[in-house]
Structure 1
Amino acid sequence: MARIKLKYVNQFANPDRADKRLRYYFRKRGHKAIPLPGTPGSEEFMAAYAMALAASSDAKIEIGEKKTSPGTIDALCVSYYRSAEWLALAEDTRDARRRLVEKFRAKHGTKRVHLIEEAHLVKIMNDIASLSSRRSWLKAIKHLLQHAVPTMRKNNPAANIAQVRLPKSKGHWTWTDDQIATYRTHWKLGTKQRLVFEFALETVSRRGEVVGFGPQHCYVGSEGERRIRIERTHGSGDVDIPMSDALAAAIDAMPVPTAINGIVPLTFLHTERGKMRSKKALGNDFAEWVKLAGLPDQCRLHGLKKGGMRRGAEAGLTSHELMGQSGHKSLAEVERYTKAANQRKLADSGAAKLRAAAAKGPKLITDQRGREESANAAYTNIETQLHKQGSK
């Protein structure tokens, strides 16, 4: 029987116990051992393992921590990485922000925090060529320096620097129905290319959610319907949604997963060694799959999320129904993703509703004869009323 091998997980069997049951612990050098419930691969086990892994990575000793001088940017970074604000960030956000903070720290780590002025920051920012890179840098440094208030300085020198404005853009291309059909025609059921496509489109998921998708997220509901639980990233809420027929067919057509070097892959997408694919690698691979299908380069993986939201809007789903599917926490985000909904279809749908409402109300008079008949009927009605009043 194949075993699931997970980093930092050790198993123990106590021969003196009657049940002889294996027990599992998360053990990482420099950290206290954490007991893990259930068995490897089970939902409760993997949830506990993920929490232990996240806690151990955030609690690690920073490089050079013992050599940092109090009051310096080095010391500020060490403190910031241990703050509640930092730990509350999504893992992807922390990774991106840490890269920017560490570049800033490498050049200015020994400088005193209380001596930093707004002009210094503006000069550093203006030396960054890309506007989008400037914007990301300023956001990261603002949060870093805000952590210095009020322990290292009285105010945040970056607080009044205006955010960098980027040129207006429509963002990622929204897939059209024709492009969706073209991709499906080229990549048949039973291929990972088709599975990635169906999952991203039908569940409006990002790359990070696609690479983590595995059999453990699928289950059968109380009424016998197939469903999916998805842990959303980037601040969106987790969702529990019905599985579409197209996605069910793509999953069922995939080969049965087998052990690789004694490890059973926990995700539908994995490397040759059985490990989960990286988001960057998936994005690059998908761009190549699109090209092989004869589609333009603008058809990217994130565009499928927008395409799925567009299809939902055109099918008549309300904004709240779309939120239940996507996990967005605000109507503004839903509206941003559904801007590409086919305006002609929506206009036709609205006109049909107006026609149906008009059919239930007073009949409209559309010709001259009808107007004359209506006027004569009104005159006759007035004559009748006057006659009744005169006879009293």
Structure 2
Amino acid sequence: MPKHPDYPHVSSFTDRHGKTRWRFRKAGHKDTVIPGEPHSAEFDAAYEAIVGGRPAKTNVILLAGGVRPRSIKHAYKLLKESGAWLKLDFSTRDRYGRLIETLLTRKAGSEIIGDGPLAEVKRTHVKQWLQFHKDTPTMQKIMLICISKLIMIGIENEWITADPTYKMMKDYRHDTDGHATWTPEQCDQFEQFYPLGSTPRVAFALGVWLGLRASDIARLRWDHLTTKRMIINGEERTVEGFEILPFKGRKKKKGQTVFLPITPELAHELAPLSRDTDFVLLSSWKRGYSPRTLSGRMIQWVRAAGLPAGRLAGDLALSCHGLRKALGMRMAETGASTREMMDVLGHNSPSQAELYSRKARQVHLAINAMDKVAAGEAKRRKAPGLKIVK
């Protein structure tokens, strides 16, 4: 353990990761690991605090933007520069970022949460932070994901060695079917409220007849329209549809496009629209929507039509994504295969498509079973009474 010539009672040691660290060792004093490297501002401030008998002031020199080194804000700064963060799609980064930034600006007592050292984050702190979203379990789960990402930055940079969020996800798992599926009656109510060719009606039609996510509805352009000629069941057919590269999963699929045929119902909805514009769905300013704005507008349109919408409506709230699920249920109820549903909705695994199939099959089987019970009971009631012959 070589002693440092410029710092009395300071010697080096090698930690379990093979990294050289420094600590203060003196009889009558508690062994103290000193952060940073000798002659750095952080190291000097900590050493002076130790020999002066005062608590160490380890975050004296601030980083750009007034960020304290090794603080939770510092971890967020590094997270945004990481490859894992940059691989997330824009909407996910935006959602996570807004949640994290809100947390970092909150106060815990008299201190700003984001200014606190990441190394001092305990499991009790994480639970307290999750209570900010106690009325929305789904948001608690997302917040826990965000906190875990910050903790991993601390672990990767050797600020901490233990993860205070370890195995917490199971305690905050919110069992739900996700976005509510629009029923046929709700679809009818929406269509009756908004006139043909109106912006809400077009957004609705693109969601329910193409099964598009909000990110793809917002980006759908008229130059995506194309025509395919194919032999189907021995008959040559010419089919018009949209050929797009789905925004979600575009990196994993490496540019794989999907062709979505236009149904007669969708053709009827698109008939009043001008095709001289860039985007199929236009705002009142004759421009396209951003996915986030479109999702918010759909909540307003749904609520205006007298249907449940928004966070206050709970699990019954209707959204753009619920239209996509409505198409999945319609395909399942009409006997579409799992592979067919996957190709229309762009699912990578059959699990979600099979969920639609199981629900539709359960209804069909239940109806068939009760029909048999009813038929059997009718026969029993019509049958002549049995006579006992001696």
Residue in structure 1 matched with residue 140 of structure 2 by the alignment:
134
Equivalent position SS for 1:149: helix
* Cα contact 1:232–1:239 (8 A) shared by 2: yes
Following superposition of structure 1 onto structure 2, how do residues 173-188 of structure 1 map, counting pairs within 5 Å?
A: 173-185=180-192, 187-188=194-195
Closer, same or farther: CA 110–340 of 1 in aligned 2, 3 Å: same
Counterpart among 190, 194, 197 of residue 197 in structure 2: 190
Question: Gaps (5+ residues) in structure 1?
Answer: 1-63, 258-264, 352-392
Residue in structure 2 matched with residue 91 of structure 1 by the alignment:
90
Equivalent position SS for 1:232: coil
Counterpart among 305, 325, 330 of residue 311 in structure 1: 330
The Cα of 1:274 is off from its aligned counterpart by: 3.3
* Cα contact 2:103–2:113 (8 A) shared by 1: yes
* TM-score between both structures, scaled by the size of structure 1: 0.61
Counterpart among 286, 303, 313 of residue 274 in structure 1: 286
Alpha-carbon distance in structure 1 between the residues aligned to 2:97 and 2:279: 27
Relative to structure 2, which stretch is displaced further, 155-164 or 300-309? 155-164
Alpha-carbon distance in structure 1 between the residues aligned to 2:84 and 2:287: 31
Residue in structure 1 matched with residue 103 of structure 2 by the alignment:
104
Relative to structure 2, which stretch is displaced further, 95-104 or 339-348? 339-348
Alpha-carbon distance in structure 1 between the residues aligned to 2:65 and 2:181: 50
Relative to structure 2, which stretch is displaced further, 293-302 or 247-256? 293-302
Equivalent position SS for 2:155: coil
Following superposition of structure 1 onto structure 2, how do residues 46-125 of structure 1 map, counting pairs within 5 Å?
A: 65=64, 67-106=66-105, 107-125=112-130
Deviations, residues 184-221 of structure 1 (Å, cap 9, x unaligned): 45545433333222210112122222222221222223
Alpha-carbon distance in structure 1 between the residues aligned to 2:164 and 2:304: 50
* Cα contact 1:172–1:300 (8 A) shared by 2: yes
Equivalent position SS for 1:173: coil
* Cα contact 1:192–1:254 (8 A) shared by 2: no
The Cα of 1:268 is off from its aligned counterpart by: 2.2
* Cα contact 1:218–1:227 (8 A) shared by 2: yes
* Cα contact 2:72–2:150 (8 A) shared by 1: no
The Cα of 1:310 is off from its aligned counterpart by: 0.5
* Cα contact 2:240–2:262 (8 A) shared by 1: yes
The Cα of 1:114 is off from its aligned counterpart by: 2.6
Closer, same or farther: CA 186–157 of 1 in aligned 2, 3 Å: closer
Relative to structure 2, which stretch is displaced further, 212-221 or 334-343? 334-343
% identity of equivalent residues:
23
Deviations, residues 331-371 of structure 1 (Å, cap 9, x unaligned): 222234555437444667899xxxxxxxxxxxxxxxxxxxx
The Cα of 1:254 is off from its aligned counterpart by: 0.9
Relative to structure 2, which stretch is displaced further, 218-227 or 201-210? 218-227
Residue in structure 2 matched with residue 17 of structure 1 by the alignment:
none
Closer, same or farther: CA 282–162 of 1 in aligned 2, 3 Å: closer
Residue in structure 1 matched with residue 58 of structure 2 by the alignment:
none
* Cα contact 1:125–1:137 (8 A) shared by 2: yes
| Corresponding position: 1:159 with 2:166 | yes
Question: Gaps (5+ residues) in structure 2?
Answer: 1-62, 106-111, 231-237, 310-316, 371-390
* Cα contact 2:222–2:279 (8 A) shared by 1: yes
Alpha-carbon distance in structure 2 between the residues aligned to 1:334 and 1:326: 9
Relative to structure 2, which stretch is displaced further, 123-132 or 306-315? 123-132
Following superposition of structure 1 onto structure 2, how do residues 37-52 of structure 1 map, counting pairs within 5 Å?
A: none
Alpha-carbon distance in structure 2 between the residues aligned to 1:136 and 1:295: 26
Alpha-carbon distance in structure 1 between the residues aligned to 2:83 and 2:300: 40
| Corresponding position: 1:249 with 2:268 | yes
Alpha-carbon distance in structure 2 between the residues aligned to 1:120 and 1:176: 42
Deviations, residues 310-348 of structure 1 (Å, cap 9, x unaligned): 010111111121111111112222234555437444667
Alpha-carbon distance in structure 2 between the residues aligned to 1:319 and 1:245: 23
* Cα contact 1:310–1:341 (8 A) shared by 2: yes
Following superposition of structure 1 onto structure 2, how do residues 260-299 of structure 1 map, counting pairs within 5 Å?
A: 266-287=278-299, 289-290=301-302, 298-299=317-318
Alpha-carbon distance in structure 1 between the residues aligned to 2:267 and 2:285: 26
Alpha-carbon distance in structure 2 between the residues aligned to 1:319 and 1:71: 49
Kindly provide the amino acid, as one letter, of the partner of residue 330 in structure 1: S
Residue in structure 2 matched with residue 230 of structure 1 by the alignment:
244
Aligned residue pairs, count: 282
Kindly provide the amino acid, as one letter, of the partner of residue 76 in structure 2: C
* Cα contact 1:148–1:156 (8 A) shared by 2: no
Closer, same or farther: CA 68–169 of 1 in aligned 2, 3 Å: closer
Equivalent position SS for 1:221: strand
Kindly provide the amino acid, as one letter, of the partner of residue 323 in structure 1: M
* TM-score between both structures, scaled by the size of structure 2: 0.62
CA RMSD of aligned residues (A): 3.3
Closer, same or farther: CA 82–300 of 1 in aligned 2, 3 Å: closer
Alpha-carbon distance in structure 1 between the residues aligned to 2:308 and 2:286: 31
Residue in structure 1 matched with residue 108 of structure 2 by the alignment:
none
Deviations, residues 254-300 of structure 1 (Å, cap 9, x unaligned): 1344xxxxxxx532223333332244543454455446656566554
Residue in structure 2 matched with residue 330 of structure 1 by the alignment:
349
Closer, same or farther: CA 79–243 of 1 in aligned 2, 3 Å: same
Kindly provide the amino acid, as one letter, of the partner of residue 90 in structure 1: D
